[in-house]
């Protein structure tokens, strides 16, 4: 009787856990395809996806069977977690918005060396397909898609990303991966298929001409690397990535890169000119209507960045020692110092190769510093925007993004003269992240 009683208690606890999991799942309307590539060496993304896909209604007997399976899988996940921690593998998400210098900062990790698997903007494919299918990206659906794809990729699973690549990969092979050449690990010999002249166009990686990318080979290469870093400008709210921090198979840390919103606007007006036509018109004449959709969009972006940073800086339990805030301006002024701090935070070795790249690429001439270049003369970049943005646009940004500027230590300007006076710094000396050290 005692044994039967004990078994009943164990299964009762397991059933409670399942019901909690199911209550969470029921709140998720995830319309993603959840196929898994059989050829790719993958970890399971968890029993919740299986339940969500099959929409199983369990009777009491099936629940007891599922309880046993759940307990077994959690033990397996725990074992996976122990293996990850034991081997010192790190999973890093570099989060930013467009025109904040994220490509440049991403290279700090991309250049780390043979132990690094770095991915450049894989969510580009997700955003593009969701936009085409819905006529505009639904924020809730996009956030769930971004989260799930990132989780799979950090586990070296490319199968879900395949669903978003256009045209769809054939036998897990694609020539359409966005900016493949920006990932050194995707241009290595181990994942570089032969270029056959006349059959397809070569992909010009930095060191060689490669054929289409075999995602199975990329997955295998990823699994061999000690550390994995993904750079993305598409995650709007840090809170949506909480499941990644709580996944026992991952040791995730988040680096949030921010930049003065006035500088971001000035840069976007050059890089994305058609989308910022209204701002250019306002720059030429007339006042900026504060209730215009474009201004509201700017305010919404600033609010999302600020709220994510506020969560990170509060260091809730799920983010304890997992969050770091970095200002682009500090990196531009002190690139080596800030790189050392980021590497220290991540626990990844700061290699001579990475240091050498930073030294070579923070003293670039004007000829090599294009709009999309990762070569920067860092001493000139920090406040260059001050001489290209009209004062009235700077005022409009200050009005829309005032709390954001204050949190990150960016000083407001009160006159055109103050805006363009190089002797007046608009960057406060401000320390962040005291709790992760």
- DSSP string across 37-48: -TTS------HH
Average pLDDT for the chain: 80
pLDDT above 80 for 317: yes
In-domain check, residue 187:
no
The pLDDT, as a whole number, for residue 397 is 98
Report which of residues 342 and 383 the model is more confident about: 342
The stretch 257-265 carries a mean pLDDT of 97
- The pLDDT of residue 285 is 87
Task: Return the pLDDT at 171.
Answer: 94
- Residue 193: pLDDT band by 50, 70, 90 thresholds? confident
In a domain, 311, yes or no: yes
What's residue 83's pLDDT? 44
pLDDT digits (tens, 9 = 90+) for 164-188: 999 999 999 999 999 999 999 999 9
Domain co-membership, 93 together with 50: no
Cβ atoms of 412 and 386 closer than 8 Å = no
Is 76 in the same domain as 56?
yes
The beta strands (E) that lie in 70-140 are given as 90-95, 116-120
CA angle 254, 432, 319 (to 5 degrees): 35
Give the Cα-Cα-Cα angle 191, 218, 105 (nearest 5 degrees): 95
Residues 209-228: what's their mean pLDDT? 93
How many other CB atoms sit within 10 Å of the CB of residue 144? 18
User: What pLDDT score was predicted for residue 169?
Assistant: 95
pLDDT given for residue 216 in this prediction: 95
One domain, residues 77 and 93? no
pLDDT at 103: 96
Number of domains the chain is built from:
2
Average pLDDT over residues 339-361: 96
What are the two backbone dihedrals, phi and then psi, of residue 32, each rounded to the nearest 5 degrees?
-70, 150
What is the distance of C-alpha 193 from the center of its chain? 27
Between 335 and 366, the higher pLDDT residue? 335
Please tell me whether residues 293 and 344 are part of one structural domain.
yes
8 Å CB contact between 110 and 222 = no
pLDDT score recorded for residue 202 = 56
User: In Å, how far are 158, 297, 394, 402 from 288, measured between CA atoms?
Assistant: 45, 14, 10, 16
Q: Are residues 96 and 6 in the same domain?
A: no
Residues 373 and 283 placed together within one structural domain of the fold: yes
pLDDT-derived band of residue 363, with 50, 70 and 90 as boundaries? Answer: confident
For range 205-214, the mean pLDDT: 81
Which of 48-52, 290-294, 341-345, 389-393 shows the lowest mean pLDDT across its residues? 48-52
Domain with 27, as residue range(s), is: 2-81
Q: Are 181 and 204 in contact (CB under 8 A)?
A: yes
Q: What are phi and psi of 326, to 5 degrees?
A: -130, 130
Highest mean pLDDT among 11-15, 29-33, 401-405 belongs to: 401-405
pLDDT at position 196: 55
My answer on whether 93 and 38 are in the same domain is: no
Give domain status of residue 231, yes or no. Answer: no
- Cβ atoms within 10 Å, residue 57: 6
- Is 287 part of a structural domain of the chain? yes
pLDDT recorded at residue 189: 87
- Tell whether the model's pLDDT for residue 291 goes beyond 70: yes
Residue 38 pLDDT > 60: no
Quote the pLDDT of residue 380: 72
- Residue 200 vs residues 165, 166, 203, 210, 216: alpha-carbon distances, Å: 18, 16, 9, 10, 20
Same domain, 34 and 95: no
Same domain for 282 and 337?
Answer: yes
Tokens 């989260």, residue located: 147
The pLDDT, as a whole number, for residue 377 is 54
Confidence of residue 52 (pLDDT cuts 50, 70, 90): very low
pLDDT-wise least confident of 50-64, 143-157, 374-388: 50-64
Residue 49 has pLDDT above 90, yes or no: no
CATH number where 257 lies: 3.40.50
Q: What is the pLDDT of residue 404?
A: 98
Q: Rank 51-60, 207-216, 350-359, 361-370 by mean pLDDT and report only the highest.
A: 350-359
Q: Are 322 and 267 in the same domain? A: yes
The pLDDT, as a whole number, for residue 137 is 65
| Residue, of 407 and 85, whose pLDDT is higher | 407
User: Does residue 77 carry a pLDDT above 70?
Assistant: no
Q: Is residue 131 part of a domain?
A: no
Residue 211 inside a domain? The answer is no
Shared-domain flag, residues 319 and 396: yes
Residues 77, 95, single domain; the answer is no
């Amino acid at each position: 009787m005692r044994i039967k009683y004990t078994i009943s208690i164990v299964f009762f606890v397991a059933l409670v856990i399942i019901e909690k999991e199911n209550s969470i799942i029921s709140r998720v309307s995830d319309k993603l395809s959840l196929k898994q590539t059989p050829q790719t060496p993958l970890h399971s993304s968890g029993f919740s996806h299986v339940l969500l896909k099959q929409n199983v209604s369990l009777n009491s007997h099936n629940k007891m069977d599922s309880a046993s399976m759940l307990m077994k899988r959690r033990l397996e996940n725990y074992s996976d977690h122990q293996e990850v921690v034991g081997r010192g593998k790190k999973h890093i998400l570099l989060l930013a918005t467009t025109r904040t210098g994220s490509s440049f900062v991403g290279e700090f990790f991309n250049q780390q060396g043979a132990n690094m698997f770095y991915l450049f903007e894989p969510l580009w494919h997700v955003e593009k397909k969701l936009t085409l299918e819905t006529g505009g990206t639904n924020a809730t659906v996009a956030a769930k898609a971004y989260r799930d794809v990132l989780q799979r990729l950090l586990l070296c699973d490319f199968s879900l990303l395949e669903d978003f690549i256009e045209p769809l990969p054939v036998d897990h092979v694609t020539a359409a991966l966005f900016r493949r050449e920006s990932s050194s690990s995707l241009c290595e010999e181990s994942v570089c298929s032969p270029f056959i002249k006349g059959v397809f166009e070569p992909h010009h990686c930095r060191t060689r001409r490669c054929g289409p990318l075999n995602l199975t080979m990329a997955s295998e290469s990823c699994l061999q690397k000690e550390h994995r870093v993904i750079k993305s400008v598409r995650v709007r709210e840090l809170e949506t990535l909480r499941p990644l921090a709580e996944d026992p198979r991952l040791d995730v840390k988040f680096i949030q890169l921010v930049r003065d919103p006035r500088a971001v606007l000035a840069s976007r007006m050059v890089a994305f000119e058609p989308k910022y036509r209204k701002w250019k018109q306002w720059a030429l004449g007339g006042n900026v209507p504060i209730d215009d959709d474009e201004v509201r969009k700017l305010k919404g972006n600033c609010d999302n960045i600020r709220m994510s940073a506020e969560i990170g800086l509060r260091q809730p339990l799920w983010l304890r020692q997992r969050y770091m805030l970095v200002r682009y301006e500090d990196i531009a002024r002190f690139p080596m110092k800030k790189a050392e701090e980021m590497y220290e935070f991540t626990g990844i070795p700061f290699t001579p190769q990475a240091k050498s790249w930073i030294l070579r690429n923070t003293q670039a001439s004007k000829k090599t510093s294009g709009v999309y270049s990762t070569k920067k003369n860092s001493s000139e970049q920090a406040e260059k925007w001050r001489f290209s943005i009209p004062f009235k646009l700077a005022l409009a940004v200050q009005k829309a993004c005032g709390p954001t500027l204050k949190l990150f230590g960016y000083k407001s300007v009160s006159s055109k003269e103050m805006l363009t006076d190089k002797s007046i710094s608009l960057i406060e000396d401000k320390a962040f992240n005291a709790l992760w050290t």
